[in-house]
Structure formats: structure tokens, C-alpha cells
């Protein structure tokens, strides 16, 4: 059984990565809560953690985020992160927000699975093997998913760039558009 000392090491070594993971997906105040809940679950289930604990922790944080989307505050926070509607919001560009609205727009246009694959590897800096553990699929399946996601993102980004150029020539920003 993992003792208290070993768990404290695990906590110290992984805290910032788990917090960063949460901050990329929700507001600071909620992220702290997600991190605390994640480590509480990890403590209770510490005997199930084998090998590198990070993918296990991030997989748990992912579920905590999904399950705890009860308050409007939290939803609004994530909305701001991915929002293209709020392109002109002063929130964009502040700490822990996506600074490039075209990136945000391209991401928002993708299928959630593509978005998650890209973010896990590009922002959370996980290898395909680690990311596969987070989302609970095989490494091979994740590589295929990631490859396709990258292609779609490249295409979406090109479209987002083109939109801006077209609108710049008109002298105004594009009307916000939402894709389901």
C-alpha cells in the first residue's frame, strides 16, 4: 500500500501539472477545487495507481471536471476559454486565457474528441501513450485520432485566418458564429 510519505511525494511532484491541466479547462477558482478533488480521489484509490501517476491523475481530473459542471460560474469560465462569441472580451488575453482568437475559433469548430486530443498533446505536453491513458483508449487508436485531429485543426485554422483577412479588408470583425 502506498504510504502517506510516498503519496506526499506524488502530490508534490504532480500538483502543478494537474493544476495546469485544470486551468486550461476552467477558471482559477474552480481549478483549485478540481485539483483538491482529484488528489482526494487519488488518496482514496492510491493502491490503483501503478506506473507513472500523471496520466491517472489527469484522467481523474478530466472526470472531475465533467462531473462537477454544475454551476454556471464554472461553465461560463470554460465558455470564455473556448469562446469565439466573446472574441472582443477583455477576458481574452488575460492570464490563463487563449490569447489568439483565431486559435480559439479553430479549436471551437472541431469535434470535442479532436479538440481534446490536440490539447492533451500540445498544451498538457503528454505523449500519445500518456494521453491515451488519460482518455482511456489504446495508444494506437489515440495516434490515429491525433493525426486526424491535427489535419482538421490545420484546415480550421486556415479558415479562421482567411475569415480574418476577408473581414479586415472590410474593415470590421466577423460576426460571431457557432458550430455545434
Partner 1 sequence: MIMRMSDDRSAAARLGAANPVKPQTLARLDESRPQLSDVLARADIGEPEERSQRRAGRVSSARQRRNFALVTAALLAALAFIAAPGWGLGFSVADLFSGEPAPPDVQQTVHGADVGAPPGMAPGIEASETSKVTAITLADGRTETLWVAPTTSGGLCVYAQRGSLSGGPGCGPSKPPTDAVDWSIQGRAEYDNTFVIYGRVPDRATRVDLSFADGKSVPLTLTKGFFLYEIPPAHIELEARPFALTAYDDDRNEVANTTLMQAAVDAAFLDAQP
Chain residues that interact with partner 1, rule: CB under 8 A: 4, 7-8, 11-12, 15-17, 19-20, 23-25, 29-30, 32-33, 36-37, 39-40, 43-44, 62-63, 65-76, 78-79, 81-83, 85, 96-100, 103-104, 107-108, 111-112, 115, 118, 122-123, 125, 150-151, 153-155, 157-159, 178-180
N-terminal to C-terminal alpha carbon distance within the chain: 46
Residue among 56 and 171 whose Cβ is closer to partner 1: 56
Of 30 and 55, which CB lies nearer to partner 1 in the complex structure? 30
| CA gap 146, 131 in Å, rounded | 10
- Residue 172, C-beta contacts closer than 8 angstroms, at least 6 positions apart: none
Minimum CB distance to partner 1, residue 55 (Å): 17
Shortest distance, position 4 Cβ to partner 1, whole Å: 6
- Comparing CA positions, the residue from 108, 89, 90, 96 lying closest to residue 160 is 108
- Closest approach of Cβ 116 to partner 1, in Å? 8
CA–CA separation, 111 and 116 (whole Å): 9
Q: Which is nearer to partner 1, 171 or 180 (by Cβ)?
A: 180
- Helix 28-44 and helix 53-67: axis angle, to 10°? 120
Q: Pick the closer one to partner 1 by CB: 171 or 178.
A: 178
Cα separation, 30 vs 22, in Å, equals 8
Cβ(58)–Cβ(39) under 8 Å? Answer: no
Cβ distance to partner 1 smaller for residue 144 or 171: 144
Least distance between partner 1 and beta carbon 30 (Å) = 7
Amino acid at each position: 500500500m502506498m504510504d502517506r510519505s510516498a503519496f506526499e511525494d506524488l502530490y508534490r511532484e504532480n500538483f502543478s501539472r494537474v493544476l495546469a491541466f485544470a486551468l486550461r479547462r476552467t477558471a482559477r477558482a474552480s481549478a483549485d477545487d478540481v485539483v483538491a478533488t482529484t488528489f482526494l480521489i487519488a488518496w482514496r484509490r492510491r493502491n490503483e495507481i501503478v506506473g507513472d501517476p500523471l496520466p491517472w491523475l489527469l484522467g481523474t481530473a478530466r472526470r472531475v471536471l465533467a462531473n462537477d459542471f454544475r454551476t454556471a460560474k464554472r461553465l461560463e469560465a470554460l465558455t470564455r476559454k473556448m469562446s469565439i462569441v466573446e472574441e472582443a472580451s477583455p477576458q481574452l488575453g488575460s492570464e490563463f486565457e487563449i490569447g489568439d482568437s483565431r486559435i480559439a475559433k479553430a479549436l471551437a469548430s472541431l469535434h470535442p474528441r479532436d479538440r481534446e486530443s490536440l490539447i492533451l498533446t500540445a498544451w498538457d505536453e503528454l505523449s500519445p501513450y500518456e494521453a491515451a491513458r488519460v482518455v482511456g483508449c489504446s495508444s494506437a487508436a489515440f495516434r490515429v485520432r491525433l493525426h486526424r485531429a491535427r489535419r482538421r485543426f490545420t484546415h480550421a485554422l486556415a479558415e479562421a485566418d482567411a475569415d480574418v483577412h476577408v473581414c479586415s479588408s472590410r474593415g470590421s470583425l466577423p460576426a460571431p458564429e457557432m458550430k455545434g
